[in-house]
Structure 1
Amino acid sequence: MTQEQYILAAQPNNLQRPGCAPVYPVGIYGWRKRCLYFFVLLLLVIMIVNLALTIWILKVMNFTVDGMGNLRVNKEGIRLEGISEFLLPLYVKEIQSRRDSPLILQSDRNVTVNARNDLGQLTGQLTVGSEMVEAQCQRFEVRSSNGERILFSADEEEISIGTEKLRVTGIEGAVFDHSVETPHIRAEPFQDLKLESPTRTLTMEAPKGVEISADAGELKATCRKDLQLQSTEGEIFLNANTIRLGNLPLGTATTSLGLNVPKQTVYELCVCPNGKLYLSPAEVGSTCHSTSNVCLWS
């Protein structure tokens, strides 16, 4: 061993050897480490809470592969079961209920169904309110169950009823402000048919004739003033076993001496020039001219 080597070996160890670099610790220590662990733990708690809330929402809303809750998505479209509420407008092509249940559209105020054309203009509207049902369209139709026959139709020109029988069950019957055109008016079986105009006249006209028939009952015509049976070209034909004209005035027959003719029970029917009928006591000859006082005062 040389002298220099001996001297270096004999020196204390606290002296750093020249040529050795200082050593520094590697990692996160102290408050930085504690903050990192805290944020990692907080993130883990948030993830667990989010996962729990997601599972709870899926459970409550009944999410499945086919849909959500009462909403089911299939090949034909969307199916809703139970009560559904829409807060915004709903645009669909067709709304159809199940085969074993009705379709109910309910609103606190009214239900309005609108139909529009390609330009967005309103062409038809149906409003169901608390006081009335209003339909606004060019033509309103009610068809039979098979859709072949029109039962009721209404437009600006006319109203048509296509049923075989029109029944009015009100006590006052049917009230028409203007004329009525119909080929047949018939009452129910075992019921009376009554045509009445309390404050005006009742007129029945037909180009080829008016037929009034009561096969199982009587025919009664009552008015306050004049009852007119008029035929411009034909005749008025009364065909019955018995024809009675009640409340006809009785003419007074007088002789040339001014003596009254004795009372009797046989009379003849006389007609004044103005068409008024009256009774005259029957004799061997006609007494209509001698009882002309009825014609004079009529």
Structure 2
Amino acid sequence: MTQEQYILAAQPNPLHQRGASVCGTQVYPAVGIYGWRKRCLYFFILLLLVTMIVNLALTIWILKVMNFTPDGMGNLRVTKEGVRLEGVSEFLLPLYVKEIQSRRVRPHWLQSSLTRPVSFFSSYNDMLCQQITGISGVKAQCQRFEVRSTDGEKVLFSADEEEISIGTEKLRVTGNEGVVFSHSVETSHVRAEPFQDLKLESPTRTLTLEAPRGVEVNAGVGDFTASCRKDLLLQSSEGEIFLDANTIRLGSIPLGSAVDPLEGAPAGTTYTKQTVYELCACANGKLYLSPAEKGSTCQTTSNFCLWS
């Protein structure tokens, strides 16, 4: 045996140390994790499985509670026309939208808690409208406020700094005391409900009816009464005042007096036995009665106009 063969034979063979030969077959020992390492590995695998099951269950529960659907979540639905909210929705932060519209058969509610205002801004961050809802009432601050019809073409009500316009065909006031206007009112027709009286009244000021083409007062069935504390003025700048009735009565008209130069009757003589009188008018428009004769006696009884 050479020296190299002796050295190789003397060195230990690692294959002989790791396994033994049984009947000419090489046998190796089993390789794995045993003991507490194996138990820890199984415990972590079991814990991971439980965590996955709990996570999946919580995910399904959240999807069920929040009502997630392919169209949205909860009260929120995403449609072709935009975003639709059903039921009561609360926004804790500002909401930026172009248009807010309710369903045709449902009312539209905008509510702010603790009397906080609901503000509307433009794209340039300019406040367009601000609405404050409280216990005492509702306040809105905007340049112009409009209420339109269902089709959006006709303006039913509009208000701005200069005027308030009502575009409906009929404005009905159902209060017992009627309606009170602090300033002038412009309208083409004022009438009461059927079988109800129409009353225009100014308790402490003057009541004036003006129109460029005339004022018509018509009581088709009932009576027309005009009463005042001082003067009742009927004035026509270009036309005439026309009173058309079967009977026109003017009560409490004074009787004129005259001085007859032929008989020497004193001034202030009245005609007490006269039963038919003539209606005369002074230059200032006041009316008085004069005894009716063949000719007019207004000139002879015009002494009333001197002291009236």
C-alpha deviation, 1:129, in angstroms: 1.5
Whether the 8 Å CA contact 1:253–1:261 is kept in 2: the answer is no
Q: Give, in whole Å, the separation in 2 of the partners of 1:40 and 1:83.
A: 51
Q: Give, in whole Å, the separation in 1 of the partners of 2:249 and 2:131.
A: 59
Instruction: Report the 3-state secondary structure (helix = DSSP H, G, I; strand = E; otherwise coil) of the residue aligned with 1:62.
Output: helix
Q: Which residue pairs with 2:244 in the alignment?
A: 239
More displaced, 176-185 or 192-201?
Answer: 176-185
Whether the 8 Å CA contact 2:102–2:108 is kept in 1: the answer is yes
C-alpha deviation, 1:220, in angstroms: 1.3
Q: Give, in whole Å, the separation in 2 of the partners of 1:95 and 1:257.
A: 90
TM-score (norm 1): 0.69
Whether the 8 Å CA contact 2:71–2:79 is kept in 1: the answer is no
Q: 1:166 aligns with which of 163, 171, 177?
A: 171
Q: Give, in whole Å, the separation in 1 of the partners of 2:168 and 2:33.
A: 97
Q: Give, in whole Å, the separation in 2 of the partners of 1:233 and 1:100.
A: 55
Q: Give, in whole Å, the separation in 1 of the partners of 2:141 and 2:91.
A: 25
Q: Give, in whole Å, the separation in 1 of the partners of 2:104 and 2:279.
A: 77
Q: Which residue pairs with 1:112 in the alignment?
A: 118
Q: Give, in whole Å, the separation in 2 of the partners of 1:70 and 1:229.
A: 70
Q: Which residue pairs with 1:275 in the alignment?
A: 285
Instruction: Report the 3-state secondary structure (helix = DSSP H, G, I; strand = E; otherwise coil) of the residue aligned with 2:241.
Output: coil
In the TM superposition, 1:1-298 aligns within 5 A as 33-34=35-36, 36-37=37-38, 39-62=40-63, 66=70, 70=74, 76=80, 84-91=89-96, 106-109=111-114, 112=118, 114-117=120-123, 119-122=124-127, 124-127=128-131, 129-130=133-134, 131-251=136-256, 256=264, 263=273, 265-280=275-290, 282=292, 294-298=304-308
Shift in CA distance, 56/181, structure 1 to aligned 2, threshold 3 Å: same
Q: Which residue pairs with 2:23 in the alignment?
A: none
Shift in CA distance, 114/70, structure 1 to aligned 2, threshold 3 Å: same
Deviations along 1:210-234, whole A, 9 cap, x unmatched? 2222222222111100111223333
Whether the 8 Å CA contact 2:76–2:83 is kept in 1: the answer is yes
Q: Give, in whole Å, the separation in 2 of the partners of 1:297 and 1:100.
A: 73
Any unmatched runs of 5+ in structure 2? 1-9, 19-28
Shift in CA distance, 111/265, structure 1 to aligned 2, threshold 3 Å: same
TM-score (norm 2): 0.67
Q: Give, in whole Å, the separation in 2 of the partners of 1:260 and 1:69.
A: 99
Shift in CA distance, 90/53, structure 1 to aligned 2, threshold 3 Å: farther
Shift in CA distance, 81/60, structure 1 to aligned 2, threshold 3 Å: farther
Whether the 8 Å CA contact 1:253–1:281 is kept in 2: the answer is no
Whether the 8 Å CA contact 1:112–1:128 is kept in 2: the answer is yes
Deviations along 1:245-276, whole A, 9 cap, x unmatched? 11223456797477986645433434344433
Deviations along 1:17-38, whole A, 9 cap, x unmatched? x8659979998999xx53x346
Q: Give, in whole Å, the separation in 1 of the partners of 2:79 and 2:299.
A: 100
Q: Give the number of aligned pairs.
A: 276
Shift in CA distance, 145/59, structure 1 to aligned 2, threshold 3 Å: same
Q: Which residue pairs with 1:8 in the alignment?
A: none
Shift in CA distance, 84/46, structure 1 to aligned 2, threshold 3 Å: farther
Q: Give, in whole Å, the separation in 1 of the partners of 2:219 and 2:178.
A: 20
Identity level (%):
55
Alpha-carbon RMSD across the aligned residues, in angstroms, is 4.2
What amino acid does structure 1 have at the position aligned with 2:57?
Answer: W
Whether the 8 Å CA contact 1:70–1:82 is kept in 2: the answer is no
C-alpha deviation, 1:241, in angstroms: 1.8
Q: Which residue pairs with 2:24 in the alignment?
A: none
